[in-house]
Structure 1
């Protein structure tokens, strides 16, 4: 089965609204076969408000959204999902909640074996990879492992920007910090 992934660096681009910059990709990605998307708001503290934001946006695109945190059984919600969207926020908080709710393995199985489309944004993109070792987030909580869902065999660093050569900032860039000795 072919995996279907849409891995987005960020949910909001400067000067635009939530997911505006990629809404055409979202519509093409989920297509007409998906009617309901399971949203995973675990990366933010206020899961209800975050789900409302995602629900409102996806409604304009023709999709219903179910918040995984609203389901009586998160694993069962993943088993029934037509599409999965994991939003951004703190990657450590997100991964810990995925483990706490025992959905890491089930998401991996649904995407890799059943072909359920998976969309991640920012932290949701981070957890689609092998590990969260490349996150720039602060470790506000500690997951039991840094191993992530593993939908792709590499890591991604969302929000990466090439250095601005005209900048007078003398700090380190991701490019500088990523180089070997």
Structure 2
């Protein structure tokens, strides 16, 4: 398996997908690749618009994407994909449409058979066993919480350590603690913006300048940084 799982697409003040573009280039290799792009997480703008934004940045580093909604047979498109890219947005809609199109198992099979997978935000959530550590509102019935299950742990993208000033609701850490109370045998990785996991050859590494916060029921949350050992996430 080759996975590149990003917390977010864009850093404040930067162009779309600018910060990860060189990692994307290295991950896909020197030979030009045309990936199947899944834009289903887009809610307030069209899939075509989403594809144009992503294609612009991928083309800048020598690669390309084609939206899955442009294929007559989405399952066949996945089965024949050189690579698979899943964009961020609303995870609930993304999962609903992936269930509607019956894409979860074909994506898993294609990735296990060698196709690189890139996801950001919601696209990273769906690489996990379930969508239950997303930050998004449940705007639609997802027809089940199960996702692609390519990694055995959960990611919380856009992880924040505390609430904004003046906000008195639960912190992200408290919400994750609630998840672990119900799901005690799972690790959750709080993936801060500007960071990503790369999984390749059975190994996992954190890329980025910020640390990752690790949660497990019965343990105090702790920090790991790039270069630390994350192998426990892939038993």
- TM-score between the two structures when normalised by the length of structure 1: 0.92
In terms of fraction of residues, the more helix-rich structure is 1
1:72-110 residue CA offsets vs partner (Å, 9 max, x unmatched): 110111011111110000000000111111111100001
Q: Which has the higher contact order (CA 8 A, sep 6+)?
A: 1
- The C-alpha deviation readout for 1:7-36, integer Å capped at 9, x for no partner, is 001111111111111111101111124521
- Describe the SS at the equivalent of 1:178: helix
The whole-number CA distance in structure 2 between the counterparts of 1:162 and 1:75 is 39
* 2:22 equivalent to 1:24: yes
Give the Cα–Cα distance (whole angstroms) in 2 for the partners of residues 168 and 85 of structure 1. 37
2:136 matched residue in structure 1: 137
TM-score (norm 2): 0.72
Structure 1 residue 171: Cα displacement: 2.9
Over residues 32-64 of structure 1, what are the superposed CA-to-partner deviations in whole Å (9 max), with x where a residue is unaligned?
245211110000131110011111111111112
Q: How many pairs align?
A: 177
Give CA deviations for 1:99-130 in whole Å, capped at 9, x if unaligned: 11111110000112x12100000000000000
CA contact (8 A) 2:7 2:158 kept: yes
Contact 2:32 2:64 in 1 (8 A): no
Partner residue, 1:163? 162
Q: Which residue of 2 aligns with 1:50?
A: 50
Residue 172 of structure 1 deviates from its aligned partner by 2.0
Query: Is it true that 1:105 corresponds to 2:108 in the alignment?
Result: no
Q: How many Å apart are 1:168 and its aligned residue?
A: 5.2
Q: Could you tell me which runs of 5 or more consecutive residues in structure 1 were left unpaired when the two chains were aligned.
A: none
Partner of 1:80: 80
RMSD: 1.6
For the structure 1 residues 34 and 103, does the alpha-carbon distance in structure 2 shift closer, same or farther, using more than 3 Å as the test? farther
Alignment gaps of 5+ in structure 2: 182-235
For residues 141-173 of structure 1, the C-alpha deviation after alignment (integer angstroms, 9 at most, x for no partner) is: 111110000010011111112227x94543321
